[in-house]
Amino acid sequence: MAEDAVADIQAAELDKARAGDVRALARLISLVEDESPQVRIVIKDLLPDTGRARIIGLTGSPGVGKSTVTGALLSAFRAAGHRIAVLAVDPSSPFTGGALLGDRIRMQEHATDGHVFIRSMASRGHLGGLAASTPQAIRVLDAAGFDLILIETVGVGQAEVAIASLADSVLVLLAPGMGDAIQAAKAGILEVADLFVVNKADKPDSQQVVRDLRNMIAMASREPGAWKPPIVTTVAVKGEGIDELTSRLDEHWSWLNSSGELKSRRQARAREELAALAFAGLRGRLAASRLDELASRVAEGTLDPFTAADELLSQ
């Protein structure tokens, strides 16, 4: 299989991607999305060109204005001279297919600019699928010379926390009336935030959201020298607050570099990635028939799942 894969992916294609060719990049990311066996060949080849990009994660509940904030950040960072890639990571939805990409269209004003690349990526819906494939998509974009990669995740929840942890800086978006800060806390995303954005700050309840957040940040225990997440208010549709947002993001980037936190985050990220890949490898090796047989006994209640898992691993 590996031999065929080498033959299929031509060196010329990889060189095109490295040069930032949009079509070549799109094809490589499709391979990643499909979890193609060719991905390992691609990554191995691109590896020497990676490690330079700064990665910003952006997450929040549906409706807080993630796409608008992402669009505004794109414009601001582009104006500052960055080459930017946006990866919108969605759980897969075969139910609705590609029809949901409509709200990305407004970002396409940047699409003619060769220094911007925008792409949605879905998983096959299994737990860990995005956790395993997103780092590969990041490597592809990194090797293509994008020095800033924005990862936008839809929804709030454990998977989003996991994806957020792939980023160097994690930006959590809230908005008044979309379920308050307490709800966000319940979803477990507050503790991964490096920066809070309260969007739609022209709405009446926004100051309450800011106050709630401030209280929660004050309540959290922090090591001496640790980063204290700032709160930025924005009205992204009007571009208000975006300059302050990019400034705060730049400050966080400086802190990451000066404190040594960047290195330890990337080490932790590699550890998670390895564990996820090892898991995928393990699943591939488990004899499917044996798994089915043991699962039947667990489903019937005649075998406990722990003993069954031991039996699987003892193979």
The footprint of a copy of itself on residues 275-294 (CB under 8 A) is 275-283, 285-286, 291-292, 294
List the structure tokens of 129: 């699928």
Measured in Å, how far apart are the chain's first and last C-alpha atoms?
A: 24
* Closer residue to a copy of itself (CB): 166 or 242: 166
Long-range contacts of 220-227 (CB under 8 A, 24+ apart): 220/191, 225/259, 227/194, 227/252, 227/255, 227/259, 227/261
- Least distance from C-beta 263 to a copy of itself, angstroms? 8
Interaction of residue 18 with a copy of itself, rule CB under 8 A: no
- 298 contacts a copy of itself (rule: CB under 8 A): yes
Q: Which stretch binds a copy of itself (CB under 8 A): 4-12, 55-63, 144-152, 203-211?
A: 55-63
261, 233 contact by CB (below 8 A): no
Instruction: Return the residue of 38, 68, 70, 123 that touches a copy of itself, per CB under 8 A.
Output: 123
CB of 39 to a copy of itself, least distance (A): 8
Of 99, 100, 98, 118, the residue nearest 108 (C-alpha) = 118
Q: At which residue do the structure tokens 């220094």 appear?
A: 115
Which range of residues in 70-78, 124-132, 200-208, 242-250 is near a copy of itself by CB under 8 A? 124-132
**Which positions from 133 through 162 interact with a copy of itself, judged by CB under 8 A?**
135-136, 154-162
Nearer residue to a copy of itself within complex by CB, 108 or 296: 296
Query: Which residues contact residue 4 at a Cβ distance below 8 angstroms, ignoring those fewer than 6 apart?
Result: none
Stretch that binds a copy of itself, among 9-17, 173-181, 194-202, 230-238 (CB under 8 A): 173-181
What is the footprint of a copy of itself within residues 243-262 (CB under 8 A)?
Answer: none
**Main-chain phi, psi angles of 85, to 5 degrees:** -115, 140
Q: In which residue are the tokens 């792939």 written?
A: 166
Positions in 56-115 near a copy of itself (CB under 8 A) = 61-63, 90-96, 100
Residue 74 vs 130, nearer CB to a copy of itself = 130
The answer to whether 191 contacts a copy of itself (rule: CB under 8 A) is: yes
Contact 84, 146 (CB under 8 A): yes
Number of chain residues interacting with a copy of itself (CB under 8 A): 90
Examine residue 271 and tell whether it contacts a copy of itself (CB under 8 A): yes
Torsion, CA 92, CA 94, CA 97, CA 103, rounded to 10: -40
239 near a copy of itself, judged by CB under 8 A? no
**Alpha-carbon distances of 163 from 56, 112, 128, 148, rounded to whole Å:** 11, 28, 10, 17
Q: Nearest distance from residue 128's CB to a copy of itself, in Å? A: 6
